[in-house]
Structure 1
Amino acid sequence: MKKFTRSALAAAVLTVGSTGGVAFTSTAAAELSVNIGAVSNYYFRGFSESNDGAAIQGGIDYEHASGFYAGTWVSNVDFGFDDDGVEDLTSYEMDLYLGFADELDNGFGYDVGYIYYAYPDARNDTGSLSADFGEIYGEVSFDTGPVGLYGGMAYVVHDSDDSALQDDDMYFYAGLDIPFMDVYSAGFLVGRTRFDDSDAENYTHYTASLARDAGDWGEFSLNLEYVDESDEDLGAWVGWSKTF
């Protein structure tokens, strides 16, 4: 479940590894880019989407000089068993998104858009599942030079019968990026998921990341994940990504 941020490191801590965070800034012409990546565990907002297994991920992004962008991103997933012990047979996720983003000369940036999370082959022992859902999202950021600050939210605007999130569920987050020694960067993020259903338990998750830009070899990252109000232990995973 990809998110969009102004730096590769923020992608590493916001999403599922540094697997395609596109830096949307003003350019002289439209650009098309392709990203590929691999992670030892696919995390989304504090929880594994791959049943603690590895994932291969990648996508295609189009960016116009006006700030408009659109793209798609795919990853294998494994949600294991549901609360009734029925195996959810979903092998991959495909995200479709579009929006507008820019970074101003004074360091302030913004990103607003819509993302659709699709699980085309979702099914269980009783038949097919309708697990798709969509969110609108917005983010503001400020590049101070030594540190990049950002914060944003996502809001579910439609859901399916068996989707993980439901209408009016919200996610809030804030974080910072700290580049150092030219090729390294550290990132920290706190995110809060608020469910519209009063019976569902809201939770907060925390992410820390250390990434290294290896030039033509791509970017490597080491990441830690923690969720409060759950039985989850501290999670750790490594990731690699490259953009062409």
Structure 2
Amino acid sequence: MRIPIVSLTLSLLACPLAHGQVFQGELGDFDLKLGTTPSRSMAQGLVTPSSTGSFHGGLDLSHDSGWYVGQWSPSVGLSPSSNLEVDSYMGFKQPFDQTLGYEIGLIHYSYPTLDTLDSQEFFGGLTVLGSRFGAAFSNDPDKQNSTLFADLGGNVPFGIGVSAKYTTHQYNSPVSVEDGYVGSFSDWSLKISRPWRGIDLDLIYSDSSLSGSRCSAYSGHNSECDGLLTLKMAHPFY
């Protein structure tokens, strides 16, 4: 029986510098956003651009018809420990009405300064009565990933949000571990969130199908291969 690891994270955002800037304007019939903070998430919240370096930024161009394109660089590679990454995306997002909507699109991940293959991710999402559902498939250089996502925040009472993510990973070539090989694995996470007196509280449990020595082959979405219980508290001061 595996005993979950417990982690406590405190995030105190004491000044505006903790968040990036987003500048918005019009370019003909398009809305243009430039900034150091991602201006959108995709697949109704499943795919969220991240930042891995000290210098990051991007642009987003959207039209009233529902089409959008953009580029996001989570790291521009200015420091010796980081590499340039450029994520280019395009998609179509359209609500049928105030309670029903959908989204489809594609992201291309490229690493111009590295001798590695580019990768692509196809995604789709659906919003129903305030709840969001998403799916994505990506072909990384070493494996394929299929992800399902659900955020039931729109239908859960008492102001409590519940979201879950499940991903299967299939290696192109089995990875050697101490007791054999790992050709595939899955991981998942469950998050319960609620605002309390100006503080955003998140309780997150994550785990995977690997354990023990087989965790050496883990390369999934979670920060730990084994069960991990995290309590996260964030409070903005501006």
TM-score scaled by length of structure 1: 0.54
Letter in 1 for 2:165: G
The answer to whether 1:61 aligns with 2:35 is no
**Residue 77 and residue 31 in structure 1: after superposition, are their counterparts in 2 closer, same or farther (change >3 A)?**
closer
Q: 1:96 aligns with which of 74, 88, 92?
A: 88
Alpha-carbon shift at residue 75 of structure 1 (Å): 1.6
Q: Distance in 2 between matches of 1:227 and 1:205?
A: 4
Letter in 1 for 2:186: N
**Residue 176 and residue 67 in structure 1: after superposition, are their counterparts in 2 closer, same or farther (change >3 A)?**
same
Identity of aligned residues (%): 25
Query: Match for residue 131 of structure 2?
Result: 149
2:170 and 2:185 in contact (8 A); partners too: no
The answer to whether 1:117 aligns with 2:121 is no
Q: 2:206 aligns with which of 198, 223, 227?
A: 227
Q: Distance in 1 between matches of 2:195 and 2:58?
A: 20
The answer to whether 1:137 aligns with 2:123 is yes
Alpha-carbon shift at residue 132 of structure 1 (Å): 2.9
Q: Distance in 2 between matches of 1:154 and 1:237?
A: 29
The answer to whether 1:189 aligns with 2:163 is yes
1:149-181 Cα deviation digits (max 9, x unpaired) = 01111112x443xx5xx24x31111113359xx
The answer to whether 1:176 aligns with 2:176 is no
Aligned residue for 1:140, secondary structure, equals strand
1:204 and 1:228 in contact (8 A); partners too: yes
1:37 and 1:239 in contact (8 A); partners too: no
Question: What runs of 5+ residues in structure 1 fail to find an aligned partner?
Answer: 1-17, 21-27, 39-43, 79-88, 123-127, 180-184, 215-219
1:176-231 Cα deviation digits (max 9, x unpaired) = 3359xxxxx8643211111234722111122345679x9xxxxx966554321323
Letter in 2 for 1:113: G
* Larger strand share, 1 or 2: 2
- Report the count of equivalent residues: 168
Query: Match for residue 31 of structure 2?
Result: 31
Mapping 1:2-81, distance limit 5 Å: 29-37=29-37, 57-76=56-75
Q: Distance in 2 between matches of 1:116 and 1:90?
A: 19
Question: What runs of 5+ residues in structure 2 fail to find an aligned partner?
Answer: 1-18, 22-27, 39-45, 172-181, 209-224
Superposition RMSD on alpha carbons, in Å?
4.1
Q: Distance in 1 between matches of 2:153 and 2:105?
A: 22
Q: Distance in 1 between matches of 2:234 and 2:54?
A: 11
Max Rg structure: 2
